[in-house]
Amino acid sequence: MTTAPADSSTAIAPAYGDKVIAVETAGSEPIPDAERHGTPLQLLWTWASPNIEFATVYIGVISVLFFGLSFWQATAALLLGTALGSLTQGILSLDGPRFGVPQMAIGRFAFGYRGNLLPSGVNALVAGVGWFAVNSVSAAFALNTLTDLRPLPSLLIVVAAEIVIGFIGHNFVHAFEKYAFPALAVIFLLAGVWTFKEANLGGSSGAGGGIGGFLLAFSTAWGYAAGWNPGASDYSRYLPRTANRLKTIVYPAVGLFVSIAIVAVIGAASATIVAPEGATPTAAFTGHLPGWLSNLVLLAIILGAISANALNVYSSAMSITSLGLKLPPWLGRSAIVVLAGVAGTAAAWASLSDAGHAYEAFLLVIAYWVGPWLGVVLVERWLQARTPVDELAARLNDRAFSNWPGIASLLIGIAVSVPLFSNQEKYVGWVPEKWASFGDITCLVGFVVSAGLYWVLRKSDRAVQPTVQPTSA
């Protein structure tokens, strides 16, 4: 009897590989080399398709209608915020081929094994409940407008499709996004052309948004784009270790930026057109379009929401597996997708009656935690630049590894930024209450405070060292 050498894993036949119609069984454990497949190009449409949808349109709409900006002011804020969130999406995507684990599992470097429970748990709720609800509601309204089917049955039809895609798993998600992309792109571009023909781009909402409105729109766009950052490596972790690094950065960043930028700007233009009285958000967006195009856009809104929520419910499950809890065998990734989908459906049902205001508040709130989280994670990536990959990989599953500066910096960043700078309908922080021109810069303040504090604490805390040392130099 002979045994295979330790480095021969690439010769082992993959059990999952590139099969599309096969239920993925992997959780947060590293993907073996034998299972690695695909190219960075697939990240282009995987991050483009989920953002060619009504939720992205609404970022532009609220920038004009709620934040009081002109079309051109809104466009500048939307492009700037989206660019920053897209850049970090590309950077974090590098962690997938490097470690083969979900993004929130990589957070153990910055927060420690147990400290990572908090951000992983938050992301599971934000993606699987919050975002799932937001996108499902827009799709339900579109289906309701298209077919006159009541909102609740419309919602149930949409969420069933979303859960099925996430249940099957990684390869099927990528394939769905690939084939959804051309249809979504063509329809929304057609709608954009028609919208710009009717729009009053030189007009203003009359609310006088000023600097405060600009910062609100910027934060909203940044929060929307960066809201995908906690799931970046979830969809790149099957890539081979040898995947081109530049392409692994560029394709997801470009896919995210171009899709959000174009669709959000179309939304801003549509907000300058008078909507029919009492129209639902989706009907207001399509009200000026000819019948045939209006129906196509409604179908695209449904398809886009399904594209987005397939990722949201999948990443929610990845975040839960990244908690490192000892779950029963039956509660694997696919079962968690179903449970997260059910919770998200309940939240969507509850928000059907006031979707507009619920969405505005949600967009700002998600940036409140993503900013500090991202600040800590990016500083940790910079500090570990010269640490051997083998050493880092061993640390991922070391339950004894702790990093108190990370979780402390995250919490302090939130504790400082939210009470001082939050500008919500139900709570206004001290700074915007005194100086309304500050708008809402909570996410930026949280990012800067957490990143700066973490750098200081991490450099000064000599006790924070790897618990697993390399066996040889």
CB atoms under 10 Å from CB of 15, counted, come to: 12
Name the pLDDT band for 351 (thresholds 50, 70, 90).
Answer: confident
HSE at residue 390, side-chain half, CA atoms within 13 A, is 5
Supply the pLDDT for residue 9. Answer: 42
Residue 402: strand, helix, or coil:
strand
How confident is the model at residue 459, as a pLDDT? Answer: 85
Q: Which two tokens stand for residue 54?
A: 């009504």
pLDDT band, residue 172 (cuts 50/70/90) = very high
- Give the pLDDT confidence score for residue 3 in this predicted structure: 43
**pLDDT digits 0-9 by tens, 298-316:** 999 999 999 999 999 999 9
Distance from chain centroid for Cα 8: 36
pLDDT reading at 356 higher than 50: yes
Distance of alpha carbon 187 from alpha carbon 296, whole angstroms: 7
How would you class 330 by CB atoms within 10 Å of its CB: exposed for 0-12, middle for 13-18, buried for 19 or more? exposed
Q: 7 falls in which pLDDT band (50, 70, 90)?
A: very low
Examine the pLDDT at 1 and tell me if it is beyond 50: no
Q: How confident is the model at residue 4 (pLDDT cuts 50, 70, 90)?
A: very low
Label residue 11 by pLDDT band (50, 70, 90).
Answer: low
Contacts of 229 (CB under 8 A, 6+ apart): 85, 88, 89, 92, 103, 370, 374
Tokens describing residue 95: 């962690």
3-state secondary structure 273-321: CCCCCCCCHHHHHHCCCCHHHHHHHHHHHHHHHHHHHHHHHHHHHHHHH
Helix (H), strand (E) at residue 165: helix 151-168
